[in-house]
Structure 1
Amino acid sequence: MPPYADDQGPARIPPGRSGNAALPGRPWLVLAMLLLVYIFNFLDRQILGILAQPIKADLALTDTQLGALGGFAFALLFSVLGVPLALLADRTSRSWVVTLSLVVWSAFTGLCGLATGFWQLFAFRLGVGVGEAGGVAPSHALISDYFPPEKRARALSIYALGIPFGLAAGAMLGGYIANAVEWRVAFVAVGIAGIAVAPLFKFFVRDVAHRRPTAGHPPVAQVFRILAAKRSFWLMALAASSSSLVGYGLAFWIPSILMRSFGFDLITTSQYVGSLLLIGGGAGVLLGGWLADRLGRRDRGAYAKLPIIAWLAAVPLFGAALLSPSPAIAWAFFLLPNGLNILWLGPVTTAVQHLVPPAMRATASASFLLINNLIGLGLGSLVMGAMSDAMHLRFGEDALRYSAVAALIFYLLAAALMLFAVRPLRRDWVEEKAA
């Protein structure tokens, strides 16, 4: 069982574990640093969404091209390289893999500010994806190393706050910097900031165990065989992918929808989107983790049931918000589903961690993220952008709004797939034994 410190006393350290992990409060310090890095992860993604309209005008891009930059360009190598980098993290140092990944993706984010055309910006977004491929799965594994099972969903949900916080920071910082100077400076500024955080992160975050590169680690094929044999893995991965297709698409395109449908300027859009993400998104992520830990003690199937309820409730609320004629009414309808659409993060990422033994966790997370990101991140903004271009002659500036409404059907698909995962998850769950 991994070492951890909790409110009842000092951490327990099995033989061979690093004493550094037992320092009082270290699990929460590690979690705080991982959260900071994850905020940069999503800040670097969302900054393209808030700056989509200035970039479109400057580089003469279509909505389809913008959608490709927001999803496919990033997701292509991000998804594929996640598995080998997670395997490297499992076999060497999880903290070092996260640190170097932060440096790489921040550097390419800065380079995006130097792009002069679509293909150059596409190449730099590929680079951002390469860097971020090594960030999430090793972080999931580090959290599982530091926190016990009964607190793991809450810890992973706190980590997942990086999504709404990062998206909000990307919207607000990107909007303010671009308004004060220009969109290129915004990319350079956040890239430099990420590189500056990297040495601080490595100073505070250490691996729980001193691992040898080849000792005590199962081959990657074994991890794949274990996951492939579990129906719950495939159903949860495909359900999350369907949800992410809508979630990532909305995150990228809502700023543009507000500008086109309500005539917002860049600052108003950044404030509007940022407030929704901070309030609604933050509450939804934390609620998902708290409920999963509470209900999951009695029924492991609760980790799948919670996302179903959230997705079904999000559909009519998002629909009402997107079709609202008033920005004030739209804000009220947007608030709740901005939390519901990411409530699944804590429960599902925790469940994936419990489909395999501890030594396989980073690789298991990366396998899950491979499917989720190829489908959800890769297609979300691209599909909505392509539908918008296709409907533009008929609906004009409202075409993007209607394409977002049409995409909400994927939340219903996500709920149906997750429903079939409830019973297999109870059977597939790997319970941890006390040390």
Structure 2
Amino acid sequence: FSLLAGAAFAIFYCGMGLIIARWADRYSRKWIITSGVTLWCAMTALSGTARSYAQLFLFRVGVGVGEATLSPSAYSMLAGYFPPRRLALAIGLFSAGVTAGTGIAYLLGGAVIGWVFAQGEIPIPLLGDFGGWRLVMVLIGLLGLPVALLMLLVREPARATGFARASSREVWGYFRRHLPRYGYVFAGYGTTSITAFAVMTWTPALYQRQYGASIPEAATVLGTVALLGGLLGAFSGGWLSDRLESRGDAHAKLRVLCGCGLGLLLPGIVAPFMPSMHAHAAVIFFMFFFGSAATGPAGAYVQSISPEPMRAQFGAAYQLSLVLVGATFGPFLVGFMTDFVFADEQKIGLSLSLTSLLANPLAAWFLWRAFKQTRERPSSANS
């Protein structure tokens, strides 16, 4: 399960993301997003038709490839729409869609799963009879297809006057020359995502095993917390970063990002030891809040220090650090410790806590180093 939830998605998401981002720095970003989201929805629907582990793995790969088109292209478009002093809030609200969408998926998914299991198998034209989780995947994928076409109504922002395409050698050379500006942020935010992916993947199982919740109950509680924490955090982090920058704080983005790293230290470690499901949810609210609060400043920082012909590619590198580290190691570490270290499925809470204990202090250190390095060398970090 951890391989399906993590590596099958992450490896191909990251690998294709860099290639697609290069296209986004050269061609129409809205058409790239439209095509990718269409593929994403189609692969989600096909996941419900899988009859073997290999087929499901393959369709998860397709989901990763489709999803890889979105964030790098969108970050580049947002940087074209908004000035730097308003970019953190814009990217934060865009990123809130990920957390809010996940929360809504859990909320609706829990209700849909309860309804689906009560209905049994339902015929779908051209596809056959589906029931249980298969029907949920097919319905969600098919419903997303017309939504993908709405992207065609979005205006493509104009490129800057004198815009010139950058070669791969130029992109790589720029990255090497400015490695400290990118490296600590990529490492820090990527490491925070280990706990985020672990929590989103395994918390429903924790609620069932440790607190005796049903699938709809677990989905409703987790979805509510993800939705509220994600939206409030994304708005707060982006607003605060832009507010500080408008008042002359040259390091506002990294200052807020570092504060979010500190805010993430404890919740994931202590949450699994809470006496009830609702107490656990109250604690991980702060994980969603601070995690989402960091998305706007982090994404805006990367875009603000990247030349326009390279923005999508550096946005993809940022997403690579986020997904390759988080989606690969987060679900895997919890599953590995539960199955092979403790050899007890009831120890999933302890596995989640240890994963947070390993990842969160390291993430906070990386983010602190990013802030410290930038403050000490402001000319190189804000040129």
* Paired amino acid for 1:216: A
Written as runs of structure 1 = structure 2, the 5 A alignment for 1:100-249 is 100-181=35-116, 182-202=132-152, 204-209=153-158, 216-230=164-178, 231-249=180-198
Query: Residue 29 of structure 2: which of 94, 101, 109 is its match?
Result: 94
Note closer, same or farther for the CA distance 1:416–1:211 as it changes in structure 2 (3 Å cut). Answer: closer
CA contact (8 A) 1:154 1:289 kept: yes
Change (3 A) 1:101 1:113: same
Alignment-mate amino acid for residue 68 of structure 2: A
d(CA) in 1 for partners of 2:70, 2:273: 36
* Distance in 2 between residues matched to 1:397 and 1:242, nearest whole Å: 25
**Does residue 68 in structure 1 map to residue 28 in structure 2?**
no
CA displacement, residues 101-141 of structure 1 (integer Å, 9 cap, x when unaligned): 00111110101101223222111101100111111100001
Q: How does 1:326-345 map to 2 (within 5 A)?
A: 326-345=276-295
Give SS of 2:157's match. coil
CA distance, structure 2, for counterparts of residue 364 and residue 428 of structure 1:
17
TM-score normalised to the size of structure 2? 0.90
**8 Å contact from structure 1 (residues 85, 133) kept in 2:** yes
Task: Give the conservation status (yes or no) of the 8 Å contact 1:312–1:415.
Answer: yes
Q: Is the 8 A contact 1:105 1:130 kept in 2?
A: yes
* Preserved contact between residue 271 and residue 353 of structure 2 (Cα < 8 Å): no
Q: Which string of whole-angstrom CA distances, capped at 9 and with x for unpartnered residues, describes residues 191-211 of structure 1?
A: 112211122221x21212379
The aligned amino acid for 2:280 is A
Residues 116 and 155 (structure 1), Cα distance of their counterparts in 2 relative to 1, 3 Å cut: same
- 1:122-162 deviations in whole A, cap 9, x for unaligned? 11101100111111100001111111111111111110111
Q: 1:406 corresponds to which letter in structure 2?
A: L
| AA partner of residue 219 (structure 2) | S
Deviations 1:286-305 (A, max 9, x none): 11101111223433333223
* Structure 1 runs not aligned, ≥5 long: 1-65
Q: State the match for 1:250 in structure 2.
A: 199
Give the conservation status (yes or no) of the 8 Å contact 2:107–2:224.
no
- Are the equivalent residues in 1 in contact too, given 2:6–2:327 (CA < 8 A)? yes
**Unpaired stretches in structure 2, ≥5 consecutive residues:** 117-131
Cα distance in 2 for partners of 1:277, 1:105 equals 22
The code of the aligned residue for 1:200 comes to: L
* Structure 2 residue identity aligned to 1:221: R
CA contact (8 A) 1:246 1:380 kept: yes
CA distance in structure 2 between the partners assigned to 1:378 and 1:190 by the alignment: 24
Structure 2 CA distance for partners of 1:312 and 1:178, relative to 1, 3 Å = same
Q: Report deviation, 1:92.
A: 0.8
> Distance between the aligned counterparts of 2:319 and 2:44, measured in 1?
21
* Identity score, percent: 28
> Which secondary structure state, in structure 2, belongs to the residue aligned with residue 299 of structure 1?
coil
Residues 25 and 312 in structure 2, CA contact (< 8 A), matched pair in contact too: yes
Residue 392 of structure 1: how far off its partner (Å): 4.2
Residue pairs, 1:407-422, within 5 angstroms: 407-409=355-357, 410-422=359-371
Residues 1:369 and 1:428: Cα distance change in structure 2 (over 3 Å)? farther
The CA RMSD measured in Å over matched residues stands at 1.9
SS in 1 for 2:292: coil
In structure 2, distance between residues paired with 1:89 and 1:164:
24
**Mapping of residues 271-310 of structure 1, within 5 Å:** 271-297=220-246, 298-310=248-260
Post-superposition Cα deviations, 1:159-199, rounded to whole Å, max 9, x if no partner, equal 01112211112212222222211111111111112211122
Question: How much does 1:307 deviate?
Answer: 2.5
- 1: CA distance, partners of 2:369 / 2:184: 7
